[in-house]
Structure 1
Amino acid sequence: LRIFIIWAISSWFRRGPAPQEQSSAGGTPRAPSRNLFPKDTLMDLYVYISEHEHFTDFNVSSALFWQKRDLVYGDWTSGENADGCYEHYGEVDISQSVQQNGSIYIHVYFTKSGFHPDPRQKNLYRRLATVHTSRSMAPGRAGDARRPPGMVLGKGTTPIPSSNWEPGGRAEDYGPVEVISHWHPNLTINMVDDHTPWVKGSVPPPLDQYVKFDAISGDYYPILYFNDYWNLQKDYFPINETLQRLPFRLSFCPLSLWRWQLYAAQSTKSPWNFLGEDLYEQSDEEQDSVKVALLETNPYLLALTIIVSIVHSIFEFLAFKNDIQFWNSRQSLEGLSVRSVFFGVFQSLVVLLYILDNETNFVVQVSVFIGLLIDLWKFWSLPVHMLDRENKVAGVLPRVTFKDKSTYIESSTKVYDDMAFRYLSWILFPLLGCYAVYSLLYLEHKGWYSWVLSMLYGFLLTFG
């Protein structure tokens, strides 16, 4: 249920173009293919761990991490928990090369019972009876931040340490970082129980990345999937010279087609990447927080939260619509504060720049950006615009001048508007100066730009 909720929401943003109909060289449609491993096929599992991306050391006994014979393809009732799953735990010996940020790979082979994955054993190896996949087990990740954010008035180039800085912060926010190999002690191998008659070239994305066809027979191999979706980032630990062995728990489970589609959709990069990965894609920390919430939150409470969020978004856009309708139909400015509209543009701009500087959620950024556009539209529609052709900009372009509308000038609204902002300025400007000094001396910022935004944003929240 939890993974389905994630998929249902994100699938709206991950839909790619429809696959094109594929034809053979003669123009005739390609025939559907079949799974090379029929239902209930007896299989043997071989798992090797090596420092080489292309594995050939089948005769090295220390490379074999797990061997399991007579597995049944599509069996959902065997295993300790009668769910078709098997588990193996062991410790992986690592060399000095791996300790010093080297690579380490897992190679998984499934063969039909009685065959062997080593191509050099001619009597026991069959290409169509062997399916193989591999991946790196020690992905490179940025190390913990070596220095925290500090006071912009700190001496030297090293910021002053903060008592509330956490060492797990993002190091890339504070300068160049070293990419370090990390290890997670859990991994699941899924074999998808699927016998769909796929047509080569017509498999919809993102499934086409996993369905592998044999070049000669045209049939496809069983789909193997490394499932680490529920591996949280906080459970990864760096590999260094103090570690001689790495704990590793490997599981094998069958997986249905629809559940595999959910996982595959989540692990695929979004087509909205043209906006920039930092703008749309969630960070690892954000993904972890979502997963923890899904694991620890009651499903009914989670569904209620999603419904409330959707309703809030609908009401927000209705408010945008009504605001536009009100200002678009307004013929007179009597009773309306023009200065508050100008101040609203400044406030929306500060909020937008602040949330961009602090990498806030993409949906929040879009909402604030739309609000800023509406404020700019109101700002442009309030005064009368005239072109001053006598005082040109740089002697070439006519200068744009603004003049308040007569309905605003001739009413008492302008008098009270000027009076209110004049009296407020006597209070707010000294408070702004005091808050700026306080923020500069006692709060931490990444730089002068962040200090200006944080100071203005904090002032608007406190006194705005």
Structure 2
Amino acid sequence: LSRIFIIWAISSWFRRGPAPQEPNGPGGSPRSPSRNLFPKDTLMDLHVYISEHEHFSDFNLSSALFWEKRDLVYGDWTSGENSDGCYEHFGEVDISQSVQRNGSIYVHVYFTKSGFHPDPRQKSLYRRLATVHTSRMINKYKRRRFQKTKNLLTGETEADPEMIKRAEDFGPVEVISHWHPNLTINMVDDHTPWVRGSVPPPLDQYVKFDALSGDYFPILYFNDYWNLQRDYFPINESVRRLPLRLSFCPLSLWRWQLYAAQSSRSPWGFLGDQLYEQSDDEQDSVKVALLETNPYLLALTIVVSIVHSVFEFLAFKNDIQFWNSRQSLEGLSVRSVFFGVFQSLVVLLYILDNETNFVGGFWGFFLIILIVFNFVAPREQLDREKKLGGIFPSVSFKDKSTYVESSTKVYDDMAFRYLSWILFPLLGCYAVYSLLYLEHKGWYSWVLSMLYGFLLTFGFITMTPQLFINYKLQSVAHLPWRMLTYKALNT
């Protein structure tokens, strides 16, 4: 619980919900506080139905009733097998061909005051204010992406023939229904005098008010936060029965707030799931870390991450200040700067070609713009006398002479010439290996993946020209020491 609190505290700094509605009545007068329709220690009956329909009405269908538990006590924290107020029920759900073929399946949960029934057609046993209901689709639709890759020389592929056929039938992205065998039903033990229209988000979507009395029903919450993505399995025609373990537990208000904040939609959601979508591994990694990491080590990791971010920001800030205040390029490897632009461009194109998430692509684009404007913009000037094509003025560098007329350019050219003797043979060998043994979508993807893999492996060598210049000039006074110091501390 303390671990999920850490995640909630951090994410609260970055998440901001919409403002609540005005808590005023139709005539402009303030609304009066509401009360919970189920007082403390109310005796309740639990009815759980499984159906393929979003709106349930088959109360007389015995096969639809999955779990019935009578004489539960609202706010009881001491009953149950483990004396924690929790109850469990395990069973198997028979599914139809519709569910096997990507159909939906829903759980409908009803709590009634003891002695009442959730079926509105049973007039003598049904009371609207004595019944609280919620439902949810319990299968999950997940995208499975298929990339058509092949060996560009032989045209062969190691992909599963069945996967290739499904890709031809359903396209490169297939939506498949998945199932997780565990689900927890929480009833929040809360009697806060909520005022309608002033419940803060994301809690407002769970607090349901009665239109006539103005009071609110007990808060029901489906808790699947700890259901790891790796434990889901696909529903297909070979699956006829689905295992389901339902748990009922009381939940305190502050713990419910933590879970509700974590399950609320990401602030990047306006970009759409296609652009901002975490992979299953990314979703599981944080939860696995919370479950399996020592709390003290986890706290230390968070502190180190914060310090790392601070140093990264300071290095970023001092790098900008250095280039803006720099009046001479003497002693600096200009080729290394432009090679950094080339590296960032390759990474950006590789991310776009592989349809990785939007944030990674945006960050790569931002780095390119930053390098260009950080280094080029302060040093360029328009020459209106020399025009390109007779229309556009040409661009020249104001401090180009400090680089060309000094020994810096000679040493920079010399360093890259020596470096090319090493890098080009390595690049050629890696290109041949990638072409012979790896699969690609096409020649464009091969070029990008080959360059990307090569730069990841040998990109650090591009720092050697600057070291070579330092050695030849016997000086390091021209370097951005503040930026390098912060980066060294980060390392």
> 1:316 and 2:312 equivalent?
yes
C-alpha contact 2:380 2:395 (8 A) present in aligned 1: no
Other-structure match for 1:448: 443
**Segment of structure 1 superposing worse, 203-212 or 326-335:** 326-335
Report the secondary structure of 1:52's partner residue. Answer: coil
Q: Structure 2 CA distance, aligned partners of 1:90 and 1:217?
A: 38
Comparing 218-227 with 8-17, greater Cα deviation is found at: 8-17
Partner residue, 2:483: none
Per mean C-alpha deviation after superposition, the further-off stretch among 115-124 and 284-293 is 284-293
Deviations along 1:53-77, one digit per CA (max 9) or x if unpaired, are 2111111222211111111111111
Residues 325-384 of structure 1: CA distance to partner in whole angstroms, max 9, x if unpaired?
222222222212222222222123223443555566877767655543442124314744
Change over 3 Å in CA distance of 1:412–1:289 after alignment to 2: same
Q: Which residue of 2 aligns with 1:151?
A: 151
Query: Mean alpha-carbon deviation: is it higher for 196-205 or for 18-27?
Result: 18-27
Q: 3-state SS of the aligned residue for 1:307?
A: helix
2:476 equivalent in structure 1: none
Deviation at 1:24, TM superposition (A): 1.6
Match of 1:436 in 2: 431
Which whole-Å CA distance do the structure 1 matches of 2:366 and 2:105 have between them?
47
Question: Conserved in 1, the CA contact under 8 Å of 2:268 and 2:276?
Answer: yes
Out of 274, 285, 289, the residue aligned to residue 289 of structure 1 is 285
- Structure-1 separation of matches of 2:142 and 2:333: 53
For residues 48 and 84 of structure 2, the distance between their equivalents in structure 1, rounded to whole angstroms, comes to: 21
CA displacement 1:302-335 (0-9 Å, x = unmatched) = 2222222221111111111121222222222221
Query: For residues 445 and 14 of structure 1, what CA distance do their matches in structure 2 show?
Result: 39
Deviations 1:188-232 (A, max 9, x none): 110011111111121111111111111111111111111111112
User: Conserved in 2, the CA contact under 8 Å of 1:189 and 1:227?
Assistant: yes
Deviates more, 1:8-17 or 1:105-114: 8-17
**In the alignment, what sits opposite 1:231?**
227
* Partner secondary structure for residue 37 of structure 1: coil
- Give runs of aligned pairs for residues 8-87 of structure 1, distance below 5 A: 8-87=9-88
SS at match of 2:268: helix
Deviation per residue, 1:427-453 (Å, 9 max, x gap):
433433333232222223344343222
- Code of the aligned partner of 2:64: A
What is the alpha-carbon root mean square deviation over aligned residues? Answer: 2.9
Match status 1:114 vs 2:115: yes
Q: For 2:296, which of 278, 282, 300 is the aligned residue?
A: 300
Q: Secondary structure, in 3 states, of the residue corresponding to 1:243?
A: coil
In the alignment, what sits opposite 2:392? 397
Query: Of 255, 260, 264, which residue of structure 1 is paired with 2:260?
Result: 264
Aligned to 1:421: 416
Structure 1 residue matching 2:270: 3-state secondary structure: helix
Give me the whole-angstrom Cα distance separating, in 2, the residues matched to 1:403 and 1:121.
88
2:146 and 2:172 in contact (8 A); partners too:
no
Q: In the alignment, residue 316 of structure 2 is paired with which amino acid?
A: F
Alignment of 1:401-412 (within 5 A): 401-402=396-397, 405-412=400-407
Decide whether aligned partners of structure 1 residues 427 and 61 sit closer, same or farther in structure 2, where only a CA change above 3 A counts.
Answer: closer
Distance (Å, rounded) in 1 between the aligned partners of 2:270 and 2:397: 38
Paired residues for 1:167-206 under 5 Å: 175-206=171-202
Counterpart residue type for residue 414 of structure 1: K
Query: What SS is found at the alignment partner of 1:25?
Result: coil
Is 1:160 the counterpart of 2:157? The answer is yes
What is the correspondence of 1:347-426 to structure 2 with a 5 Å cutoff?
347-355=343-351, 357=353, 371-381=367-377, 383-393=379-389, 395-402=390-397, 405-426=400-421
Query: C-alpha distance in 2, partners of 1:239/1:361?
Result: 26
Residues of 2 paired with 1:247 and 1:286: CA distance?
Answer: 26
2:203 aligned with 1:207: yes
Higher mean alpha-carbon deviation, 259-268 vs 417-426, is at: 417-426
Alignment match, 1:220: 216
How many residue pairs align between the two structures?
Answer: 454
- Indicate how the Cα distance of structure 1 residues 361 and 297 shifts in structure 2: closer, same or farther if over 3 A, else same: farther
Instruction: Measure, in 2, the Cα distance between the counterparts of 1:283 and 1:461.
Output: 22
- In 2: Cα distance, 1:332 partner to 1:390 partner: 24
Q: 1:95 to 1:409 in 2, by over 3 A?
A: closer
Q: Does structure 2 retain, via aligned residues, the 8 Å contact 1:89–1:248? A: yes
SS at match of 1:270: coil
Displacement after TM superposition at 1:102 (Å): 2.9
Give the AA of the match of 1:135: R
Aligned AA (1:202): S
Q: 1:98 to 1:359 in 2, by over 3 A?
A: closer
Cα deviation per residue 1:135-186 (whole Å; 9 max; x = unaligned)? 122233345x67774434452xxx51179xxx9xxx89x9534433322211
CA distance in 2 between counterparts of 1:340 and 1:122 reads: 81
Query: 2-side partners of 1:359 and 1:4: how far apart?
Result: 33
